[in-house]
């Protein structure tokens, strides 16, 4: 398979973002958004510590400059400078010397994958710790170890950003991705990269809907956005949460809480029509931020698109989720599905037949002549008949495509022709 230019560019963006130490707050998030802002314009929001957001409170801001464990000979056996995963997220500052037996209580490993470093956090409980490979721990002799975490946990801000692609109507489609994980390429930088390039493509297309892209820390970021936008939530008609967008597994769509939202039907149709291997999963109140958008008080039509779902691959939340784990081809494929789905979403309308008593004479209006020379003339004729038949104000073009078995693009083109002939109206 030839790697597309967007695939290469998205992978290059993942490689740029990967080393940064992100968390739910702090300068790592800002540095990430600075880079994203080189690709698309962003409106960055800073929400102060202590701000009440629904049932939550914006936490203190965490920043870290250095951290290490030095062995009895003074060698740094664990070094934050080598990987941001080496420190337990939100670790409080520490500067101490202690025996290995005491230090072990603060060490996290993956014995089943002895060369991998796990990703661990302690956002809402004051704690400190290090994450390291089991083989590194096994090689550490008894003795006194110097332990240092140069971090700050203080009042500051939670940072998130928005990018809006204006549409022909004010009704919005939300595309959300999280920017709170440190050096994890698939979860979450691949989703960020796909969102960036999707936004750029949509801007060139001048879409029907308005598309709002959210780059926010997981859970607390989505909750903060919802709290700050409660008065305009009714504009959000559809949405997709992007994550795990670059691994080599097949695509997975998780339905919204409603289960039959328009975005659910569109995604299922596009994935099936494309012939791609894929899975459609039912909603569960666990996973990414679809559970915030779908919470009962909001009940938005927001699903989740991933390749292999969270925790569904052994590299998940480990150092093995690195830029080599994600592929340009997979990210290009995820982007293509989003492109195809939003094209359907933007063209999906309900129509009313303006000549509903008997079949109108299409030939007299030049509609059959307009099809001359098309390789799919018979399909196009059938599409016109199906659109006329189901244009009762109740059925959408997606309904027509599903019921007729005709390609959506053919059905939409038929609707355009019939509309131009004043036989139907939206």
Residue appearing with tokens 């951290």: 67
Provide the 10 A C-beta neighbour count for residue 390: 20
Known binding-site residue numbers for Zn(2+) = 181, 187, 317
Query: For residues 209 and 348, what is the distance between their CA atoms, to the nearest angstrom?
Result: 11
Residue 422 token pair: 């004043």
Residue 23 token pair: 């968390």
Counting Cβ atoms within 10 Å, is residue 116 exposed (0-12), middle (13-18) or buried (19+)? buried
Q: How big is the CA angle at 192 (ends 173 and 285), to the nearest 5 degrees?
A: 65
Q: Which residues contact 150 (CB under 8 A, 6 or more apart)?
A: 64, 65, 66, 67, 93
Q: Where are the alpha helices (DSSP H) in 74-159?
A: 100-103, 134-138
Query: For residues 350 and 153, what is the distance between their CA atoms, to the nearest angstrom?
Result: 53
Count helices and strands (H / E) in the chain.
Answer: 12, 19
Known binding-site residue numbers = 181, 187, 317
Residue 302 token pair: 């927001």
Residue appearing with tokens 């909001």: 298
Helix axes 328-347, 408-420, angle to 10 degrees: 30
Query: For residues 382 and 397, what is the distance between their CA atoms, to the nearest angstrom?
Result: 14
Q: Which residues pair with 425 in a beta bridge?
A: 352
Query: For residues 78 and 142, what is the distance between their CA atoms, to the nearest angstrom?
Result: 15
């Amino acid at each position: 398979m030839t790697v597309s230019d967007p695939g290469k560019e998205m992978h290059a963006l993942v490689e740029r973002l990967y080393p940064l130490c992100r968390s739910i707050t702090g300068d790592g998030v800002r540095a990430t958004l600075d880079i994203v802002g080189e690709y698309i314009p962003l409106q960055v929001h800073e929400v102060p510590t202590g701000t009440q957001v629904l049932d939550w409170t914006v936490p203190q801001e965490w920043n870290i400059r250095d951290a290490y464990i030095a062995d009895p000979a003074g060698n740094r056996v664990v070094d934050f400078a080598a990987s941001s995963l080496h420190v337990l997220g939100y670790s409080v500052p520490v500067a101490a010397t202690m025996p290995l037996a005491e230090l072990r209580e603060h060490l996290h490993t993956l014995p089943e994958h002895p060369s991998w470093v796990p990703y661990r956090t302690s956002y809402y409980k004051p704690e400190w710790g290090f994450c390291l490979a089991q083989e590194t721990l096994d090689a550490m002799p008894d003795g006194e170890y110097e332990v240092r975490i140069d971090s700050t946990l203080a009042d500051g801000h939670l940072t998130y950003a928005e990018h809006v692609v204006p549409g022909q109507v004010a009704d919005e489609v939300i595309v959300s991705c999280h920017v709170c994980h440190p050096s994890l390429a698939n979860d979450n930088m691949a989703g960020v990269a796909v969102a960036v390039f999707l936004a750029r493509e949509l801007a060139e297309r001048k879409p029907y809907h308005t598309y709002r892209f959210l780059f926010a820390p997981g859970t607390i970021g989505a909750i903060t956005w919802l709290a700050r936008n409660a008065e305009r939530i009714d504009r959000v008609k559809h949405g997709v949460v992007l994550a795990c967008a670059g691994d080599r597994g097949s695509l997975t769509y998780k339905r919204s809480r409603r289960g039959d939202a328009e975005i659910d039907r569109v995604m299922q149709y596009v994935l099936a029509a494309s012939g791609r291997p894929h899975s459609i999963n039912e909603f569960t109140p666990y996973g990414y931020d679809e559970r915030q958008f779908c919470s009962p008080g909001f009940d938005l039509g927001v699903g989740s698109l991933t390749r292999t779902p969270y925790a569904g691959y052994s590299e998940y939340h480990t150092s093995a989720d690195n830029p080599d784990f994600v592929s340009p081809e997979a990210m290009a494929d995820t982007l293509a599905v989003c492109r195809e789905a939003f094209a359907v979403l933007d063209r999906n309308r309900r129509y009313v037949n303006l000549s509903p008593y008997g079949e109108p004479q299409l030939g007299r209006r030049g509609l059959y002549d307009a099809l001359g020379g098309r390789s799919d003339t018979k399909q196009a004729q059938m599409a016109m008949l199906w659109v006329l038949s189901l244009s009762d104000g109740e059925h959408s073009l997606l309904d027509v495509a599903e019921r007729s078995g005709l390609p959506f693009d053919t059905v939409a083109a038929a609707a355009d022709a019939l509309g131009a002939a004043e036989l139907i109206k939206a």
